[in-house]
A and B are shown apart, each in its own frame.
Chain A
Amino acid sequence: MRKFYTLLSREVSSYFYSPIAYIVLFFFLFVSGADFYFQISFMNQRPVQYSVQEAFFNSIFFWFAFVLIFPLITMRSFAEEFKLGTIEPLMTAPVRDWQVVLAKFFGAVIFYVVLWVPTLLYFAIFQYVTHQTAAGSFGAYWGSYLMLLLLGMFYISIGCFASVLTRNQIIAAVISFCAITLHFFSGLITFIVTEISSTMRQVLGYFSALEQMATLSRGEIDTRPIVLYVSLTMVMLGLTYQAFQTRKWKL
């Protein structure tokens, strides 16, 4: 456990040593802040049927920025160690492969969570200034942030997998960007293709991240996406572990 903790803290601190982390942090704060601002000014002009918090998490503008951050967060994780050769001292120390894989994964998850913390402030400030509630219910916060965490873990596991496949960070970023975008926007199929049966639409809806988000951000807790993303994440981490075991031999 101490080894895992050591590896994990090295991963987390390595994010804050690198300029990329600050670029992502700044970019993300800017986009989410802008999103929040525009949603509120839009609501100021006419009455709407949804809460600030629902609007914040369901704008396309916001989602676009959202899929971009994962390749940036994860591209370094394995690729850089392969490139610089630091994988050699790392793996010749008495550590297990799965400890390294999990440390890289959770290191990225922690950084991702840190990205989100400031957005809690937006809602706090909104309530403080306007004396109105930002969300329909308290559960709505839980729902949205739970969904963000689940989806984030899945996309981070995709990013880790892409990074373990290559020693080139750019290639890793492109692979994970394509995979994540493909998954994320496949949920939009139901809007584009209209000629499908309602059962088909339901099945697709079950996998659609956007629809899950819409549900959860209303505060309706649905266990299906939880099961779905936790298992998808475990599958991706399993693949990453397998690829890492064969990959590190090939240096």
Chain B
Amino acid sequence: MIKVENLTKKFAGQTAIRDLNFEVGQGEIMGFLGPNGAGKTTTMRILASFLPATSGRASIAGFDVFEQSLQARAHLGYMPENVPLYNDMRVSEYLNYRAALKSIPHRRVSERVGDVKELCGLREVENKLIRALSKGFRQRVGLADALLHEPDLLILDEPTIGLDPNQIRQVRELIKNLGRQHTILLSTHILPEVEMTCSRVIIINKGRIEACDTPENLLGRIRTAGGVTLEARVGADDAPTQLKKIAGVRDVSESEDDGWKILSLRVESGTDVRPEVFRLARDRNWEVRELTARRATLEDVFVEITHSDEAS
């Protein structure tokens, strides 16, 4: 659905994205993850034919975004970052206007506008001026607009930024449901978001793709996946040294809480060291109040990847 080859974009004196290559297949929900300034918006604007690339190619549904930009745009529902809208229009009026711009046949306009208003929960504000809408409703108007012409592909730039937790949950739910019929590329710098909604993730940092895989594979691939936390009274023992002897434990850090030692173990992926830790505690007569495994999150993956980049 999306094909990007050697895409590079330079702004005066600065390279925003460098040599990107990726593909998004039909029906995928692709997450585009990276810190601020990584080049997510720039990439999406190129895909939406809003910016020209400095070099390289990109296509949507087989149409080159620069040479056949009109056809490419017709297949795309795009929601820009921060959702700019005409403040002086009313919600229904705006959606009708957008429907006409997107060449929806006259007789289908009111049906489509009604459908997207229903889907995005805009019924209660349909006659309000856009200027008077809260951030959450503006976001939904943007999403409704992107969905109007039933595009094969949705590109959503930071769809949940600036929303409160409740609204974030609603928008994520909406995106997940949309994923059943649409191909989606969504950008975010919030990690749990991609973990919850996406079937694949591209991690981008400083204009370069650092990783591209399913969330599960990314988690498996990472060296310091997961960890175990042990809270115990260890007496005079040197707990960290003894714990490090257990096979699979890479690193131990300790802290104190009210006489209890809190020991955080970083372990290799695919190993479960908890039985070994328990045996050790029993042998040494440690008093244990907690022994838990922490699953690696994309956050760990992200920190690992972006951090190792800084080191090099």
Knowing A84-B84, A249-B51, the reply to whether A92 touches B103 (Cβ < 8 A) is: no
Q: Closest CB of chain B to A147's CB: distance in Å?
A: 33
Residue of B nearest to A3 (CB): B101
Whether, in the assembled complex, B73 has its beta carbon less than 8 Å from a beta carbon of chain A, the answer is: yes
Q: Are A94 and B102 in contact (CB under 8 A)?
A: yes
A-B contacts, 11 listed (Cβ < 8 Å)? A3-B103, A85-B80, A85-B82, A88-B80, A88-B84, A89-B80, A89-B145, A92-B73, A94-B70, A94-B74, A95-B101
Which of A17, A88, A92 counts the most B-chain CB atoms under 10 A from its CB? A92
Shortest CB-to-CB span from B39 to chain A, Å, is 15
Q: Please measure, in the bound complex, the distance between the C-alpha atom of A251 and the C-alpha atom of B48, giving whole angstroms.
A: 14
Q: Do B85 and A86 have beta carbons less than 8 Å apart?
A: yes
**Complex contact B84–A92 (CB within 8 A):** no
The answer for the CA separation of A58 and B89 in the assembled complex, in Å, is 40
**B51/A92 in contact, CB under 8 A:** no
Residues of B within 8 A of A129 (CB): none
Contact B80 A93 (CB under 8 A): no
Residues of B77-94 at the interface with A, using a CB-CB cut-off of 8 Å, are 78, 80, 82, 84-89
Q: Known: A3-B101, A86-B85, A86-B86. Contact between A92 and B48, CB under 8 A?
A: yes
| A245, closest chain B residue (CB) | B52
Interface: B98 (CB within 8 A): yes
Q: Count chain B CB atoms within 10 A of each CB in A10, A89, A251 and give the residue with the most.
A: A89
Q: Known contacts A3-B100, A89-B80, A249-B52; is A94 also within 8 Å of B73 by CB?
A: yes
- CB-CB under 8 A for A92 and B80, given A18-B88, A86-B86: yes
Among A2, A6, A88, the most chain B Cβ lie within 10 Å of the Cβ of: A88
* Interface flag for A247 (CB, 8 Å): no
B76 at the interface (CB under 8 A from A): yes
Say if the beta carbon of B187 comes within 8 Å of chain A. Answer: no
Give the complex CA separation of A27 and B179 in angstroms.
Answer: 54
Give the size of the chain B interface in residues (CB under 8 angstroms).
Answer: 28
* Residue A213 CB within 8 A of the other chain: no
Residue of B nearest to A86 (CB): B84
Chain B residues positioned under 8 Å from A96 (CB to CB): 70
Q: How far is the CA of A157 from the CA of B8 in the complex (A)?
A: 36
Which residues of the partner chain A approach B71 to less than 8 Å between Cβ atoms?
94
Give complex CA distance A86, B138 in Å.
13
Taking a contact as CB atoms under 8 Å apart, the answer to whether B80 and A2 are in contact is no
Q: How far is the CA of A91 from the CA of B84 in the complex (A)?
A: 12
> Looking at the complex, which one of B49, B74, B97, B145 makes contact with A6 (CB distance below 8 Å)?
B97
Closest 7 CB pairs of A and B: A85-B84, A17-B88, A6-B100, A92-B48, A94-B73, A88-B80, A86-B84
B-to-A contact residues, CB < 8 Å: 45, 48-52, 70-71, 73-74, 76, 78, 80, 82, 84-89, 97-98, 100-103, 142, 145
Whether A92 and B49, one on each chain, are in contact in the complex, defined by CB atoms closer than 8 angstroms, is: yes
Assembled-state Cα–Cα distance A88/B102 (Å): 14
Q: Closest approach, in angstroms, between the C-beta of A9 and any C-beta of chain B?
A: 8
Expressed in whole angstroms, the minimum distance between the Cβ of A17 and any Cβ of chain B is 4
Asked if A14 is at the interface of the complex by the 8 Å CB criterion, the answer is yes
Please list the residues of chain A having a beta carbon within 8 angstroms of any beta carbon in chain B: 2-3, 6-7, 10, 14, 17-18, 84-89, 91-96, 248-249, 251
Q: How far is the CA of A248 from the CA of B80 in the complex (A)?
A: 15
Residue of A2, A87, A91, A248 near B103 (CB, 8 A) is A2
* CB-nearest residue of chain A to B50: A92
Q: What would 17 more interface pairs be, CB under 8 Å, given A14-B88, A91-B50?
A: A2-B100, A2-B103, A3-B100, A10-B97, A17-B89, A86-B85, A86-B86, A88-B84, A89-B84, A89-B85, A92-B48, A92-B50, A92-B78, A93-B102, A94-B103, A95-B101, A251-B50
Residues of B within 8 A of A248 (CB): 50
A88 nearest in chain B by CB position: B80
Report the separation of the CA atoms of residues A3 and B103 in the bound assembly, to the nearest whole angstrom.
7
Taking CB as reference atom, which chain A residue is nearest B76? A92
Nearest CB on A from B242, distance (A): 59
The docked-state distance in angstroms from the alpha carbon of A189 to that of B82 is 51
Residue of B nearest to A10 (CB): B97
Chain A residues within an 8 Å CB radius of B98: 89, 93
Residue of A nearest to B47 (CB): A92
A94 near B101 (CB under 8 angstroms)?
A: yes
Distance between Cα atoms of A85 and B78 in the complex (Å): 14
Q: Collect the chain A residues with CB atoms within 8 Å of residue B97's CB.
A: 6, 10
Give Cα A93 to B75, complex, Å.
10
Closest-CB distance, B139 to chain A (whole angstroms): 13
Q: Within the assembled complex, what's the spacing in Å between the Cα atoms of A86 and B88?
A: 12
Q: Decide if A88 touches B50 in the complex (CB within 8 Å).
A: yes
Q: Which residues of A contact B49 (CB under 8 A)?
A: 91-92
A93–B89 alpha-carbon span in the complex (Å): 18
Taking the closest CB of chain A, its distance from the CB of B104, in whole angstroms, is 10
Query: Once bound together, how far apart are the Cα atoms of A84 and B86, in whole Å?
Result: 8
Chain B residues with CB under 8 Å of A86's CB are 84-86
